[in-house]
């Protein structure tokens, strides 16, 4: 399976070694060809969610990120002409959301050959860095060119990646990719959930550029983003969920709130009113959930801000 346009096990072969997602529950080929119509309810839910999240964030900084799908950016290597971009469609319907929705489509298109992993659906570390710099410039109104250049110098780790696309082929394929070598003082805690919804990652970064605490609700793109965001922000809590959980905002009291989804998840947007309890998600989606005591202590601490238990935990992190 080497010819552009070949399709196997939900993977579409593109040009120059690029692979693209074609299968899955989101029926991505039907969506980008216009065969699957986006329901009016989904559009209404998206708008209502974003505006409600902005209101609930109150005086905190809030941005929703829509990460473009690979074929929206790497168009010259995609074997189907003129794929529909759901992000462009949604923002075309609701231009009033442009100030609170960050959709880095044009930013990534300027560097299209380097911002996605060839055999995976996700951004490369370089693509994440570009997105991070653009987002921070919007949130803080400070240029990030110098910091972006410093991080590019850390793209020194090379490894072969088969990824979530290359591994699906009958004869798996890989591509050599570059990754950030994290060399800044960092403590991280993870609940090691083997399913998606309910994953928690917590990062404490001793020498971060900005002493700001960030809470991010999102998917696997937001998860990768949060790890590298530790270069910029002193504390990041990532929660794997499609919803905005206002009760967790009240507990963590972050300086910045991010919510996020990859573009294909806009095939149908569910209302935040349907959200379950985040704390029950691991028990609803996985068997034998048993996080470590170290993670439990860290999560309890960030949920206790700014009380004494939080302060004591943070004070001894880097001793």
The pLDDT score that the predictor gives to residue 203 is: 98
Peptide bond into 145 cis (omega under 30): no
CB-based contact 24:10 (threshold 8 Å): yes
- pTM exceeding 0.85: yes
The pLDDT score that the predictor gives to residue 17 is: 95
The pLDDT score that the predictor gives to residue 88 is: 97
Q: What CA–CA distance (Å, rounded) separates 116 from 315? A: 38
The single-letter DSSP state of residue 172 is: -
pLDDT digits (tens, 9 = 90+) for 21-78: 998 888 899 999 989 999 999 999 999 999 999 999 999 999 999 999 999 999 999 9
pLDDT digits (tens, 9 = 90+) for 246-304: 999 999 999 999 999 999 999 999 999 999 999 999 998 888 899 999 999 999 999 99
Which residues have CB under 8 Å from 5's CB, separation 6+? 12, 13, 79
Q: What CA–CA distance (Å, rounded) separates 217 from 241? A: 6
For the purposes of burial, counting CB atoms within 10 Å of the CB of 141, is it exposed (0-12), middle (13-18) or buried (19 or more)? exposed
Q: What CA–CA distance (Å, rounded) separates 223 from 134? A: 17
How far apart are the two ends of the chain, measured CA to CA in Å?
53
What six digits make up the tokens of 93?
A: 């319907």
Q: Put the strands of the sheet holding 19-21 in their side by side order.
A: 7-8, 11-13, 19-21
Task: Tell me: pLDDT of 194 over 90.
Answer: no
Q: What CA–CA distance (Å, rounded) separates 60 from 262? A: 23
Q: What CA–CA distance (Å, rounded) separates 97 from 47? A: 8
Residue 216: enclosing H or E segment and its boundaries? strand 210-218
Q: What CA–CA distance (Å, rounded) separates 73 from 79? A: 13
Rg (CA), the chain: 20
Task: Tell me: pLDDT of 2 over 80.
Answer: no
Task: Tell me: pLDDT of 1 over 80.
Answer: no
Q: What CA–CA distance (Å, rounded) separates 130 from 137? A: 11
Question: Alpha carbon of 305 to those of 250, 254, 300: distances in Å?
Answer: 9, 9, 9
Task: Tell me: pLDDT of 221 over 90.
Answer: yes
Q: Estimate to the nearest angstrom the gap between the alpha carbon of 122 and the chain centroid.
A: 9
For the purposes of burial, counting CB atoms within 10 Å of the CB of 27, is it exposed (0-12), middle (13-18) or buried (19 or more)? middle
């Amino acid at each position: 399976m080497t010819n552009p346009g070949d399709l196997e096990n939900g993977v579409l072969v593109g040009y120059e070694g690029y692979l693209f997602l074609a299968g899955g529950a989101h029926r991505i080929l039907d969506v980008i060809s216009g065969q699957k119509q986006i329901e009016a309810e989904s559009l209404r839910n998206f708008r209502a969610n974003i505006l409600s999240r902005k209101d609930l964030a109150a005086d905190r900084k809030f941005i929703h990120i829509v990460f473009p799908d690979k074929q929206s950016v790497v168009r010259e290597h995609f074997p189907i002409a003129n794929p529909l971009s759901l992000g462009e469609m949604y923002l075309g319907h609701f231009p009033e959301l442009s100030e609170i929705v960050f959709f880095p489509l044009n930013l990534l298109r300027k560097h299209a050959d380097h911002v996605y992993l060839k055999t995976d659906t996700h951004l490369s570390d370089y693509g994440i860095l570009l997105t991070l710099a653009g987002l921070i410039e919007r949130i803080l109104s400070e240029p990030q060119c110098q910091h972006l250049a410093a991080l590019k110098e850390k793209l020194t780790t090379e490894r072969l990646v088969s990824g979530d696309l290359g591994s699906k082929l009958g004869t798996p394929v890989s591509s050599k990719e570059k990754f950030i070598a994290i060399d800044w003082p960092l403590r991280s805690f993870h609940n090691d959930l083997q399913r998606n919804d309910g994953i928690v990652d917590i990062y404490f970064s001793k020498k971060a550029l900005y002493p700001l605490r960030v809470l991010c609700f999102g998917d696997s793109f937001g998860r990768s983003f949060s790890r590298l965001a530790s270069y910029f922000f002193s504390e990041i809590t990532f929660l794997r969920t499609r919803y905005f959980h206002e009760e967790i905002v009240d507990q963590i009291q972050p300086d910045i709130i991010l919510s996020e989804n990859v573009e294909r998840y806009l095939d149908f947007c569910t209302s935040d009113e349907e959200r379950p309890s985040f704390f029950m998600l691991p028990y609803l989606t996985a068997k034998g959930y048993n996080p470590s005591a170290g993670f439990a202590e860290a999560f309890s601490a960030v949920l206790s801000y700014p009380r004494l238990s939080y302060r004591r935990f943070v004070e001894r992190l880097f001793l």
